[in-house]
Amino acid sequence: MRVYNFSAGPAMMPLEVLQRAQSELLDWGGSGMSVMEVSHRGKAFVACAAQAEASLRRVLGISDDYAVLLLQGGALGQFAALPLNLTAPGQRAAYLNTGDWSKKAIAEARRYCEVDVAADESASNFTRTPEPGSFTVDQASAYLHYTPNETIRGVEFGYVPDAGAVPLVADMSSTILSRPVDVSRFGVIYGGAQKNMGPSGLVVVIVRRDLLGRARPQTPTVWDYTVQAGADSMINTPPTFAIYLLGLVLDWITELGGLDAVAARNKAKADALYSFIDASGFYSNPVAPEARSWMNVPFLVADPSLEKTFVAQAEAAGLTNLAGHRSVGGMRASIYNAMPPEGVAALIDFMKEFERTHG
């Protein structure tokens, strides 16, 4: 039986995508092989990768001013690749600190360049995003980095920060493809695939072409944006199965009606869950309403000793992976694109019943 999987990532995949992959697993496009078994340099796979890229460009609205790179090493690899590709030795980079992933990105960048933290939400215990206009960005910075959606505490920017003329860099791992974005506002957008784009093992990097050509000589070749942009991300074997699945996920999004339709569906799911939590005296969410994530919804129960029981009973009811991140505890429901509205409704019903029996 399929469960409703609320994991933060690797996360639930759309059922239609899994079924399609299953149906062509043994014989992909008449090749007599799985897509996993074909050469990445063969005509069929090269076309498959090109189509996944073309679909991503169409769905997200990415112009030819940007290169799309399909790489490995996860978003964590990009935490190092960014300063290596974008800063000259001695140059500074600016970061907004809005939570656990921002902090990790800052710590990794500090191994390669000087970092200015332009805004820091640690004083609010990461329950808000900085007010627009409340921070300044040194215009000599190589870039301004931020995390539009903090996966662990469920904090999401409701606006795109203004970096002036400094290239804006966004770790969109847990929000990419959840709603439309104006790509032209960004210098670099990147994200691990395992939440809204497909399985783990693939990281997508969208980089404005005028930022190419700046990599430091010691940049690992696999992460050198300029080299990879010049080689269709195929200087070595790419994550072929993940790229194939990215293409199927983008077909699924297109069939749903594109990102406007996906955004409406995600907003409705998030609104339903947050309004239920807010109306209850038993559950709570600490995040400021304007900064609440559409994708990751952390919540607490009035009596923390009930957390283990909640998670175990939910699991038994087919609602899995609801424990909060190990660093913060509590519960967290990740409701990415592939979580159907029925899954959120089932969670709310379960929460009501749990409150009735334990509240």
Contact region for ligand PMP (CB under 6 A) — 50-58, 68-76, 286-294, 326-334?
A: 68-76
Instruction: State which residue, 127 or 173, has the beta carbon closest to ligand PMP.
Output: 173
Catalytic residue among 28, 100, 171, 269: 171
Tokens of 70: 């399909």
Compute, in degrees rounded to 10, the torsion defined by CA atoms 74, 75, 79, 82: 90
> Of these residues, 28, 100, 195, 269, which one is catalytic?
195
**The dihedral of CA 259, 262, 268, 273: what is its sign?**
negative
Q: Which is nearer to ligand PMP, 94 or 351 (CB)?
A: 94
What is the DSSP code string of 193-209? STTTTSSTT-EEEEEEG
Give the SS3 label for residue 175: coil
Comparing CB distances to ligand PMP, the nearer of 192 and 199 is 192
Question: Cα(21)–Cα(37) distance, rounded to whole angstroms?
Answer: 14
Question: Which residue is at the shortest CB distance from ligand PMP?
Answer: 74
Min dist. Cβ of residue 295 to ligand PMP (A):
9
CA 253 distance to own-chain centroid: 16
Provide, rounded to whole angstroms, the least separation between the CB of residue 252 and ligand PMP: 21
d(CA 286, CA 3): 28
Residues between 232 and 271 that touch ligand PMP (CB under 6 A) = none
Task: Decide if 101 is catalytic.
Answer: yes
Stretch that binds ligand PMP, among 53-61, 70-78, 106-114, 127-135 (CB under 6 A): 70-78
Residue (148 or 187) nearer to ligand PMP, CB: 148
**Angle at CA of residue 29, ends 26 and 31, nearest 5°:** 65
CA distance 348 to 302: 16
Identify the residue among 11, 68, 74, 351 touching ligand PMP (CB under 6 A). 74
Task: Mark 4-23 with x for binding to ligand PMP (rule: CB under 6 A) and - for no binding.
Answer: -----x--------------
CA-nearest of 204, 193, 191 to 10 is 193
CB nearer ligand PMP, residue 23 or residue 327: 327
Helix axes 341-358, 258-279, angle to 10 degrees: 10
Residues of span 92-131 touching ligand PMP by CB under 6 A: 101
Note whether 249 and 13 are within 8 A (CB): yes
Distance CA 317, CA 209 (A): 49
| Shortest distance, position 53 Cβ to ligand PMP, whole Å | 19
- Is 75 an interacting residue with respect to ligand PMP (CB under 6 A)? yes
Active site residue 195: yes
**Minimum CB–partner distance for residue 193 and ligand PMP (Å):** 8
Per annotation, catalytic residue among 101, 223, 252, 294: 101
Q: Which is nearer to ligand PMP, 76 or 234 (CB)?
A: 76
Nearest residue (CB) to ligand PMP, 75 versus 189: 75
171 given a catalytic annotation: yes
Tell me the C-alpha distance between 308 and 322, whole Å. Answer: 10
For ligand PMP, which stretch binds (CB under 6 A), given 73-81, 118-126, 265-273, 335-343? 73-81
**Number of residues in contact with ligand PMP, rule: CB under 6 A?**
11
- In the chain, the amino acid numbered 215 is A
Those residues with Cβ within 8 angstroms of residue 305's Cβ, 6 or more apart along the chain or in another chain: none
Backbone phi and psi for residue 57, each to the nearest 5 degrees, phi listed first: -60, -40
Q: What residues between 152 and 211 interact with ligand PMP by CB under 6 A?
A: 171, 173-174, 192
The alpha carbons of the chain give a radius of gyration, in whole angstroms, of 21
Compute the least distance from the CB of residue 192 to ligand PMP, in Å: 3
> Strand, coil or helix: what is 168?
strand
Active-site annotation, residues: 101, 171, 195
Q: Which residues bind ligand PMP (CB under 6 A)?
A: 9, 74-76, 101, 147, 151, 171, 173-174, 192
